[in-house]
Structure 1
């Protein structure tokens, strides 16, 4: 019985060296490509940024910093609780909704695991934060900075990718305009991956109507499961890449943009970022069954 987990971890051990070899090969290929006259001409024609629409705002406001922090906090807890829901076979506790602790459907209590209750609760906060973000970003015109408005974003994104992989960073200033690869990444996460995660998560949740046979046939739960977990991997890959590039392309300046809403090289942004990491680390360890039982008991009944 213990051989299967051992073999699984043994296979995963090869992932890291394989990724390092693949990345090294990609860097060497990008350096060779960049020396080719045709690629050099391509990069000169498409340096990496598209022109923003007239009236696009400059700078990153304070509300975006708060949105960024809350989004990171909720995503961290969503990923943790989602993995617990996926990997836990016998939950340590269950949550039962209702003032008296029971909501009955054909005589059976409607209960979910404590991990799923936590996952859905954080999901609700993340969705609420996202709605606020959508409203503000369109009301203030900041949508112009994360929604592509011209087709040249694609060749510019390819150019930026070659420049990144060749370790010869493109000249950029996120305070004024994101490069094309950033623009496409942010658009994909905000307007494609996030809505898909919500739609697939809703299909898998207890809130989905069970009696609608036609709707369930059109959108089967198996389809939602096949999409939901890979989406989590997309978010994890985006977070790792995003943090790595923030630190590698001018950490103090980038952190000031995101956390202090200022364009300079002071340590204010780093200090706020460090405090946010402390808060997120505390939230990670605080999300223990003992703490969750106490919180969940205020909204229903918790049983072992």
Structure 2
């Protein structure tokens, strides 16, 4: 006779993602209800009347979005897809399918032996480099053409205008704007943070974690140790994901055809060219993601070094 205690089945827990989605929906509903209530207050209505959400640009500010900006935007999106993909693979700490060692007889030659990298880290570093180069070109041309005044705050009234725009967004009553001429204040601050704060933070913390970073006992290395750099780097990645999701949502819900025409076709004629360029570029990016299989990635990396394929883990 079996006298052992009956097995108890632990209650099944809902996946963490489900709780995140539920909490996000509840928070969004609360924010919308609260924002709509605040907008009904007389003081708030006066505030929005005084600060409608857009800060005036300096005299002589350029009008319109040039074609080079559309190309930079498209390349930035393309690189970010693979940065996020490889970054999440690294963060998951899953066993890489292969390792890569740089060929020290060609390309960059160093006295010390090259360090072995996971194939995912190799991809992350390569795409990061292309993203940084693209970003440097963007910033140089941005200031050379005067387009910087559209994404850099130049007046203190941008603060109350940003609060006003945020309140209008939260209440689902979008602020009136014309992105071809001037972004609203909240957009300006958001773009400034992405370009001049989040971007450099991602680069600096990524360099701090890179295998080539000097390991000398310096004040910077003690203050920004590898663990802190990894935490900030991952938080910055999450910030980029949230910003991208909100950005795409607003582009598609605040006049999609006009917005896409501005961003992808550098036109303000209400046509559909920008939409079709967006569709084509999105298809190309999706195709590139599926085309970059582990075998293809190993073949590309093998052109620049030695590849060691790891055997598949035994099935349990």
When the two structures are superposed, what TM-score results if normalisation uses the length of structure 1?
0.93
Q: Which residue of 2 aligns with 1:70?
A: 75
**Secondary structure in 2 aligned to 1:229?**
helix
**Secondary structure in 2 aligned to 1:13?**
helix
- Post-superposition Cα deviations, 1:40-87, rounded to whole Å, max 9, x if no partner, equal 000000000001011110000000000000000101110000011111
Structure 1 position 209, deviation (Å)? 1.1
Q: Which residue of 2 aligns with 1:38?
A: 43
Q: Which residue of 1 aligns with 2:313?
A: none
Structure 1's unaligned 5+ residue stretches are: none
Distance 2:93 2:50 in 1: 53
CA contact (8 A) 2:104 2:114 kept: no
Q: Which residue of 1 aligns with 2:19?
A: 14
CA contact (8 A) 1:100 1:300 kept: no
CA contact (8 A) 1:61 1:261 kept: yes
Q: Extract structure 1 runs of 4+ deviating beyond 4 A.
A: 99-106, 212-215
What's the C-alpha RMSD, in Å, of the aligned pairs?
2.0
**Larger radius of gyration between Structure 1 and Structure 2:** 2
Structure 1 position 286, deviation (Å)? 2.1
Q: 1:63 to 1:109 in 2, by over 3 A?
A: closer
Q: Which residue of 2 aligns with 1:278?
A: 283
Structure 1 position 213, deviation (Å)? 4.4
CA contact (8 A) 2:265 2:273 kept: yes
1:80 to 2:85 alignment: yes
- Post-superposition Cα deviations, 1:150-181, rounded to whole Å, max 9, x if no partner, equal 11111101101111111111110000000000
Structure 1 position 219, deviation (Å)? 2.6
Q: Which residue of 1 aligns with 2:4?
A: none
Q: Which residue of 2 aligns with 1:190?
A: 195
- Post-superposition Cα deviations, 1:240-284, rounded to whole Å, max 9, x if no partner, equal 000000000000000000000001221100000001101110121
CA contact (8 A) 1:256 1:270 kept: yes
- Post-superposition Cα deviations, 1:200-255, rounded to whole Å, max 9, x if no partner, equal 00000112112354542243112211200010010000000000000000000000
Matching residue within 119, 122, 131 for 1:117: 122
CA contact (8 A) 1:256 1:265 kept: yes
- Post-superposition Cα deviations, 1:130-164, rounded to whole Å, max 9, x if no partner, equal 01001100000000000001111111011011111
**Secondary structure in 2 aligned to 1:259?**
helix
Structure 1 position 89, deviation (Å)? 3.2
CA contact (8 A) 2:55 2:161 kept: yes
CA contact (8 A) 1:114 1:293 kept: yes
Q: Which residue of 1 aligns with 2:132?
A: 127
Structure 2's unaligned 5+ residue stretches are: 1-8, 310-316
1:161 to 2:166 alignment: yes
Q: Report how many residues are paired.
A: 298
Q: Which residue of 2 aligns with 1:54?
A: 59
**Secondary structure in 1 aligned to 2:180?**
coil
Distance 1:195 1:154 in 2: 23
Q: Which residue of 2 aligns with 1:253?
A: 258
Distance 2:110 2:94 in 1: 24
Q: Which residue of 1 aligns with 2:239?
A: 234
